[in-house]
Structure 1
Amino acid sequence: MDQIIDIATEGRHLSRDRGFLKVSENGTEIGRTPLDQIAGVIVHAHGTTWSSSLLVELAERGAAVVLCGANHAPRSVLLPLEGHHAQGGRLRAQWQAKQPLIKQAWKQVIRTKVAMQASALAAMGESDAPLRMMLRRITSGDGTNIEAQAARYYWPRMMGEGFRRDTDAEGVNSLLNYGYTVLRAATARAVVASGLHPSIGLHHSNRGNAFALADDLMEPYRALVDCAARHLVTYNSPQVDLAAKQALARLIAADLPLGDGLTPVSVSLTKLATSLGQSFESGKLALALPRPPDGLIFRGLGR
């Protein structure tokens, strides 16, 4: 199963050693992980160093290297230039995709996101009826901005009346930052592996955002992070400690309904990105979007 490697202690050195990522301190090895099992490396600590050969090996496997600020939000993501055997043609198809297809794709992404939020609230014992009603009003391209309307209803019930989403704040906001960083790394990896370019988004289009498409495609999965963060605050602490990091990193292995079975989040992201690439090439939209899991899965996240 894919693993997330988190480097949070000062002065660590990362290198490649016979198929392993090796972590050393003052010349002494303190841990290693098979390179083939790594989905991403998240670096928080100052003074971290690494070998160029390690970065090349991670790139060849499509593993993202995420450099974070003090608030656990990503500041840089390193990804490989090559990701798919038909990358050139798929990139052209992505760039030339017609607006009606792009808007319909965004509609489906937002419908799935709001459905996930509704199911998450229901699993927490909160009323989900208003979000279910909003699902019916989502139009092509989400022209009426149901996403924002849903967020205004969702956040106070998920995190409490006084909650405000602030990437620079501590407590539960830092937990959300870390969880979204894990999710963003896994999504960016899936996007590149499918032959798409992460900076050409469906909806996110900030010129300074090199990972707009990753931010688009991770939207339906955010509720998993939200539930995990809520549980961590309730049963552990609001701090981004070792237990919290492990719980949030495990989210990429959570099973979601997709097709006729259950699929881990990391695999689901790959299927979604691949289906989008195929839709660009064919001109016919057919996205492999997950369905909300049952309440037991939501209630078990973060514990």
Structure 2
Amino acid sequence: MDRIVDIATDGRHLSRERGFLKVSENGTEIGRIALDDITAVISHAHGITWSSSLLGELADRGVPVVLCGTNHAPRSVLMPLNGHHAQGARMRAQWAVKTPLIKQAWKQIIVAKIAMQAAALEAVGEAHAPLVQMARKVTSGDTLNTEAQAARYYWPLMMNEGFRRDRDAPDINALLNYGYTVLRAATARAIVAAGLHPSIGVHHANRSNAFALADDLMEPFRPLVDCTVRGLAARNGEQVDTEAKQTLTRLISLDLPLGDGQTPVSVALCKLATSLGQSFEIGKLNLALPNPPDAVTLAGLGS
């Protein structure tokens, strides 16, 4: 069972006890969750204290600990040093991969993202055909910046005509920040578990971004957050409250079409990261990218 633990109340103490993460307040236990069920721990609160044994146990399980700012965007992510039994060889292959393969990988990721955006617009009754056409025009490395063209078309229809994506803005942008933080944490865990280094991106290459590869691989999954935020805002307003957080964290359990079956988002991320690592090693691209869920599922997210 994949679960995101969100710590949003000030002054809590987190510790390990017999295979559980225990949450205490003023010395009194107020809750616990099995460590093996945790996908990520996200903290938004002040005055949180952690036991070193808990952090060690989370690291052993590859569970990221994400510290967020007031805008619900991540400020710091704690990840383990070791991930996969073939980590050394896979990271060497990651460093040495040839540029043409990298460019083709980014093309496939962007095609998958735009296809998911098109499916999302179709599901909410907006015109999606232009995005379908854009997906067909993506070049190797997306040299024509079709991703940005698609975004300019997509956002006004997904949210509203005056919407602008701004990490530092409140309301809907804050909801998006939180949803993307959940997705980024799950992606980072999948990358480490696959033996890859999260700072070595396919496209994102900011020197200060320690999770460039996570930002790359989560791209096709972002429209799932967008649909959920749209539904939440219409039903419950734009505040990042407990209900909104719980709804967004459940996205990692959403089933997506992948291969011949249905796969939860958290598993789909692991398969994508693993397929990328294997592609680096053999020098031939074979990415396990998900297909969009059906329109009814997309339209129902967040509602």
Alignment partners' CA distance in 1, 2:49 and 2:284: 46
Separation of aligned partners in 1, 2:277 and 2:300: 33
Structure 2 SS opposite 1:181: helix
SS of aligned partner of 2:80? coil
Distance 1:237 1:9 in 2: 21
Where does residue 44 of structure 1 map in the other structure?
44
What is the CA distance between 1:48 and its match in structure 2?
0.4
Q: Which runs of 5+ in 1 are unaligned?
A: none
CA distance in 2, matches of 1:77, 1:118: 31
Deviation for aligned residue 1:237: 1.4
Deviations 1:136-160 (A, max 9, x none): 1100000000000000000000000
Measured after TM superposition, the shift of residue 10 of structure 1 is: 0.4
Give the Cα separation in 1 of the matches to 2:111 and 2:175.
25
Q: By how many angstroms is 1:294 displaced?
A: 0.6
Q: Which residue of 2 aligns with 1:282?
A: 282
**Corresponding residue pairs, total:** 303
Supply the AA of the counterpart residue of 2:276. L
Q: Which one-letter code corresponds to 1:285 in the other structure?
A: L
1:85 aligned counterpart, secondary structure? coil
Using the TM superposition, give the Cα deviation of residue 135 of structure 1 relative to its aligned residue in structure 2, in angstroms: 1.1
Q: 1:50 & 1:299 partners in 2: Cα distance?
A: 39
Rounded Cα–Cα distance in structure 1 between residues aligned with 2:285 and 2:263:
21
1:220 has 2:220 as partner = yes
Cα displacement (A) at 1:219: 0.1
Separation in structure 1 between the aligned mates of residue 52 and residue 102 of structure 2, nearest angstrom: 38
Shift of 1:302: 1.3
**Residue 61 of structure 1 corresponds to which residue in structure 2?**
61
Separation of aligned partners in 2, 1:26 and 1:222: 38
1:53 deviation in Å? Answer: 0.3
Q: Secondary structure at the match of 2:33?
A: strand
Q: Distance in 2 between matches of 1:29 and 1:237?
A: 33
Task: Give the RMSD, CA atoms, in angstroms.
Answer: 0.4
Q: Aligned residue for 2:118?
A: 118
Query: Which residues of 2 match residues 163-202 of structure 1 at below 5 A?
Result: 163-202=163-202
Name the amino acid aligned to 1:140.
S
Give the corresponding residue for 1:160: 160
Residue 211 of structure 2 aligns with an amino acid whose one-letter code is F
The residue aligned with 1:245 is: 245
What's the counterpart of residue 255 of structure 2?
255
Match of 1:79 in 2: 79
Partner of 2:235: 235
Q: What is the identity percentage for the equivalent residue pairs of Structure 1 and Structure 2?
A: 74
Aligned AA (1:81): L
| In 1, Cα distance between equivalents of 2:205 and 2:250 | 30
Distance 2:104 2:250 in 1: 31
Give 4+ residue runs of structure 1 displaced > 6 Å after superposition.
none
Instruction: Report Cα offsets for 1:249-297 as digits up to 9, x if no partner.
Output: 0000001000000000000000000000000000010000000111111
Deviations 1:163-191 (A, max 9, x none): 01111111100000000000000000000
The reply on whether 1:131 has 2:131 as its aligned counterpart is yes
Distance in 1 (CA, whole Å) between partners of 2:296 and 2:280 is 36
Distance 1:302 1:7 in 2: 21
Residue number in structure 2 paired with 1:93: 93
Q: C-alpha separation between the residues in 1 aligned to 2:118 and 2:145?
A: 17
Q: Counterparts of 1:280 and 1:68 in 2: how far apart (Å)?
A: 32
Residue 6 of structure 1 corresponds to 6
Task: Return the alpha-carbon distance in structure 2 between the equivalents of residues 59 and 98 of structure 1.
Answer: 31
Q: Gaps spanning 5+ residues in structure 2: where?
A: none
Output aligned runs, 1:263-278, within 5 Å. 263-278=263-278
- Give the letter for the 1:96 counterpart: A
User: How many angstroms apart in 1 are the aligned matches of 2:111 and 2:8?
Assistant: 36
Partner Cα separation in structure 2 for residue 169 and residue 233 of structure 1: 15
Secondary structure at the counterpart of residue 223 of structure 2: helix
SS in 1 for 2:285: coil
SS in structure 1 of the partner of residue 40 of structure 2: strand
Compute the TM-score of the two structures, normalised by the length of structure 2. 1.00
2:28: which partner in 1? 28
Structure 1 residue 36: deviation in Å? 0.1
The aligned amino acid for 2:44 is: H
**Following the alignment from structure 1 to structure 2, what is the Cα–Cα distance between the partners of residues 147 and 25?**
46
